[in-house]
Structure 1
């Protein structure tokens, strides 16, 4: 049985471009029928334009015939899909092109390894075999040289070694001596003779009849038809087997991890060889990621600052006070019954009365005017005002009207300037002795008023021992759900108006103000994040543009990889890896730059909140950008026709 059999193969190109043009396409091959047996050394000879290169492309499964049958070992390859053809090229064919077709960014050994890479050969075995082949072809001293560092003859030897990497049962040599001087050409022909003697099937495409005469069989083609065939098949009788035959057939496909590692290595080399362009591409991603991190940090800081400004008297706290009285409409004071009424409302979590007036506090010979207040045990919970030293008075103190007090930081500094511990000591409040049992945490200044300049005693003690009445100055109310703050404030006013028979109380709805400002700050943060994200998208568009340009520049490389057995998924993975590697590198640099900006802002006193989630999200978006915007160029590369790709300049 023949190794290769062509039956009435025809190939035509082109369609009419304008009305009136010749409607028939250009016929390049006109019914080629040919059988090639294993072990033959066949020369296909013909003038330029005779169709011999087209015939070689069809023989090597780089192109498909327009009609006719191509049988390989008795199987019709016309039904093979792109991946099946890639496997056939990888396992059966080795190409030696006139223009060498070496990948310029890879070394001699790495060029030779390419077919084995797509065959799934382990790295160590692949490297050892490539080295052995190059040493066999007297290229051992040039293993790590790039193509531009090699002479024409040396590059052709690398191409021959590559053709043998997976066994090279069939060597397709297209004008292998056309670009060489006579001495190098003779060396290449000697190598081809050695391969034929070793049992390889060698198909030589040439226009030089002297070169063709060195083959065992000469097939002459003219105007797309075979016009002569010497039929000399003495080589077919040989049973010698190639020393390299079938070496890769048992490996199957490479593992995903190996493919990704190799793709990343090749991608990095391409990026490094185009450093300036890569740097400009990275810049867009870096700016986008850094902007997202910095702007979200600034927005988060602003939001935190808004909350901090309202935390003086609790985030979920609103206040009730009697309206200002007038001669015509005097207002009644608030009562403890009003506190109970407010507590009964659905969204009210707690309510505590507070009675306050100016008092004079004394310790020793130091007098100080301060704000005196009386409240119940829920004070520190409702207002979020903790005690940093000592303790807060409890229900027993309230019940007994105990003469105990907690003092603010300003009072502490004024009365205890000597540095003594205030807890346990006695002070006078409007000439009434009280024992200090705790010190309130610092709250700072709100609306020009020092919140730390105060003394607080149990409500019962304040009413009985200092102020002489039990009417709260105001009532602090803590709500459960901030979203219902406005409805709760309205309910308080309505309920108290019904009980007091007059609408004479005012509810300061700080909760709604906090909620609105918090939502505004959150919206601003989101807006800043979206603006920064736009810059990230712009960077992604830059990646796509660069990848499209890269695919165009490396079209021939894509053809070379396809000719050596790369599947469409291999090409897709290669270019997708490059896009993701660019955006990952840009994302990493962007995170570093973003963190540096946040650090500088912190040193400058700008309120910022670093978010690890925002940093990870920005980096993830950068990588996702690479996947999204790199897909179209990668898909375009994967869908290239091998013949068209190889013919590109």
Structure 2
């Protein structure tokens, strides 16, 4: 004849032993051959002195610990067949724990403590809030929902822990010395409350060393040296059987994530100073990445602007054999070379030039500047406009006219009190030149040099009156299009080699210069970014260190979470989320601080270019850093033994 479901004991232990290795290698038997059956609806007191094994028995009954030998069944289900997460689900749905020291989380409110088991059960927030408020109201704490544990008396904290035990409708309430930390009045109230819960059909298992406390139970089991020495048997009628929760579903992780973020913020607020120091490492790392890359990109943009200011689609012919440093004092290029190049196919315009450092004078004001002799095509090559007046003309070159066009810096220094210098004369050396134009301002180049510190004269006049020897410093060649750059460069090389009988010149394109500058600047930017990323890595190591400290300090909290049904994934999610929240907040602050630092650098004269990519890279790196460096502490927390965690001080 088969045994009916009603006849199956709620909890049944058969020859259960729990054996530990002693310090000297000898066995320590915390439980030694326990055989025990507890029916649904019983009120059982397990009584014994300290070290008798009663707490170990409670841990086994509550699936916090597993037997070394023997078999333990919950309504016919052998717990040995259940995995770690299935045991967590069994604790979550079937058992409610009431601890002597309450084991409430100090950083959250009474209501939030009560909600904790329902979070791991996947209950909706509105449902959790409503049930927690109802339970606390039934226990006389309806006006204390928003109070934190340190704002409650011992008796009130124990009521909160009882409400937490009831949150998921637990079949079995396991109360470990529930009155041990209370005064006599509060203790009586808690015992009376457990009696009412028994009357409602809950199975109550009371762990105590006090005979007066045990007297409130219907059945008293004496335990000593890990063995049951006396069992009074049931003294009253068991309440109606309650349906055992065997739901082993795994709630979706997304609601858990929201709660994990909320708990992470509570944890951060719980130790603001340490949290701030942890954030500081991440903030500095992210800010360094943003600032360094902004400055690096600004430097790159400045170099590119300087090269582009020379004009696009240009070839630069300079004196000196390849591999030597070009110099304007090398007498290898002549005006006739420029004229010959001008006749080549693909050449749109040619601008030869010669430059020297000269002293310019107006009245009693002297100013030393770069004086450059050019052809009229120079402004086209340089893409340089005039702010007033005219530029050097073909007639000026042909007639050796003593005319000069000033850069804005030269004009400002020679004529500080005049609105316009047009028509006035300046001395270049001892030769008077009439000012016919002023160039528009271009500012500084990538290397910080003032591009407006220049004075331009006809090349022929420069040879005759300023420079002396008739050789060129550079021949600028404007191409019809970038497509003919290689062919034209080869043609110029062939032409000048034939004219000079040797290769005593160099031909460079602005395109190649830009490519070289881009490569160099990218390398420098990468170097800056790498240095900044190292600081972010150091910040990440700091996060891991703090999270490991957190795990150590919050070991008991982890045990409480496991006792209330937290699975491995819940603990992993919680501590990984805390690391991600730290790094996420640090990332946001770091990005803002990095932008501020870059703006400060710009105010001090550095060129800065902001793009979205560095900020996203820095924030993403901080986020990934939190994920990577948070995993090890989270894994350590998730692998803790519930019993060891709960016993931690």
TM-score w.r.t. structure 1 length?
0.78
Distance 1:129 1:301, change over 3 A: same
Match of 2:351 in 1: 354
SS of 1:609's partner is: coil
**How far, CA to CA, are the matches of 2:186 and 2:258 in structure 1?**
36
Distance 1:266 1:472, change over 3 A: closer
SS of 1:333's partner is: helix
Q: Deviations over 1:395-441 (max 9, x none)?
A: xxxxxxxxxxxx98969x99xx999xxxxxxxxxxxxxxxx9x9997
Q: Does 1:268 align with 2:265?
A: yes
Match of 1:637 in 2: 637
Within 5 Å, give how 1:246-645 maps onto structure 2.
252-314=249-311, 317-320=314-317, 333-334=336-337, 338=341, 343=346, 352-354=349-351, 373=375, 380=380, 443=442, 474-476=475-477, 491=490, 494-496=493-495, 499-500=498-499, 502-503=501-502, 506-509=505-508, 511=510, 515-645=515-645
Match of 2:178 in 1: 176
Q: Does 1:82 align with 2:70?
A: no
Match of 1:6 in 2: 13
**How far, CA to CA, are the matches of 1:448 and 1:600 in structure 2?**
22
Q: Does 1:205 align with 2:204?
A: no
Q: Is the 8 A contact 2:311 2:382 kept in 1?
A: yes
**How far, CA to CA, are the matches of 2:482 and 2:21 in structure 1?**
74
**How far, CA to CA, are the matches of 1:184 and 1:314 in structure 2?**
89
Note the residue ranges of structure 2 that are not aligned, 5 or more in a row. 1-7, 321-326, 356-370, 389-403, 413-417, 421-435, 459-471
**How far, CA to CA, are the matches of 2:120 and 2:173 in structure 1?**
18
SS of 1:140's partner is: coil
CA RMSD of aligned residues (A): 4.3
Q: Is the 8 A contact 2:96 2:170 kept in 1?
A: yes
- Pick aligned residue for 2:152 from 146, 150, 153: 150
TM-superposed deviation, 1:492: 5.6
**How far, CA to CA, are the matches of 1:444 and 1:3 in structure 2?**
88
Distance 1:372 1:384, change over 3 A: closer
**How far, CA to CA, are the matches of 2:582 and 2:15 in structure 1?**
49
TM-superposed deviation, 1:118: 0.8
Larger deviation, residues 249-258 vs 158-167? 249-258
**How far, CA to CA, are the matches of 1:535 and 1:450 in structure 2?**
40
Q: Does 1:131 align with 2:130?
A: no
- Pick aligned residue for 2:50 from 48, 51, 58: 48
Q: Is the 8 A contact 1:197 1:240 kept in 2?
A: no
Q: Deviations over 1:212-233 (max 9, x none)?
A: 2321222221111112222226
TM-superposed deviation, 1:445: 8.7
Q: Is the 8 A contact 1:292 1:532 kept in 2?
A: yes
TM-superposed deviation, 1:371: 5.8
Q: Deviations over 1:86-136 (max 9, x none)?
A: 100000001111111111112111111111111111111111111111111
TM-superposed deviation, 1:448: 8.5
Q: Deviations over 1:353-386 (max 9, x none)?
A: 336799xxxxxxxxxx99663559xx95x75568
Note the residue ranges of structure 1 that are not aligned, 5 or more in a row. 344-349, 359-368, 390-406, 420-435, 457-470
TM-score w.r.t. structure 2 length?
0.78
Q: Is the 8 A contact 1:320 1:506 kept in 2?
A: yes
TM-superposed deviation, 1:59: 0.5
SS of 1:308's partner is: helix
Aligned residues, how many? 576
SS of 2:97's partner is: strand
**How far, CA to CA, are the matches of 1:372 and 1:6 in structure 2?**
105
TM-superposed deviation, 1:9: 0.8
TM-superposed deviation, 1:623: 1.6
TM-superposed deviation, 1:313: 1.6
Q: Deviations over 1:311-338 (max 9, x none)?
A: 3323663322688999x99979226664
SS of 1:528's partner is: helix
**How far, CA to CA, are the matches of 1:591 and 1:330 in structure 2?**
53
Q: Is the 8 A contact 2:337 2:496 kept in 1?
A: no
Q: Is the 8 A contact 2:118 2:167 kept in 1?
A: yes
